[in-house]
Amino acid sequence: MAENYVALADITDVAVGKMYHAEHQGKHYLLANVEGTIYAVDDMCTHEDASLYKGSLHDDCVKCPLHGSRFELKTGKALDEPAEDDLNTYAVRIDGDKILVAIG
């Protein structure tokens, strides 16, 4: 099945070292710029419903604002308890000034 890439943000929306919250068809995504590489993951922590966008970026990980679980942005891997389930990750392409994310 071909991946469906959707423009979720402009490249200027996600500065290096920053995160961006995007929504498409009711689903929430977190975009993060780590040293010039854009990553896309689900925005909700897998432990409890908390927006990771409200958390903090630490190197190549995002830290949940609620209980401090960290997730690796490249793989979605949950690194700390209480989160045990990994995040979904999404392929990212840059087309001109648009950040395209494979959402389906």
pLDDT tens-digit series, residues 47-58 = 998 999 999 999
Looking at residue 43, what DSSP letter applies? S
Superfamily (CATH H level) for 5-102: Rieske [2Fe-2S] iron-sulphur domain (2.102.10.10)
Any idea where the domains of the chain sit in the sequence? Answer: 5-102
Predicted structure pTM score:
0.94
Mean pLDDT of 74-91: 97
Both tokens of 97, joined, read 């000034």
- The arrangement of strands across the sheet holding 37-42 comes to 19-24, 27-34, 37-42, 89-90
Question: What residues have CB less than 8 Å from 89, skipping those under 6 apart?
Answer: 39, 40, 41, 73, 74, 75, 76
Answer yes or no: are the C-beta atoms of 87 and 42 closer than 8 Å: yes
Both tokens of 14, joined, read 């996600």
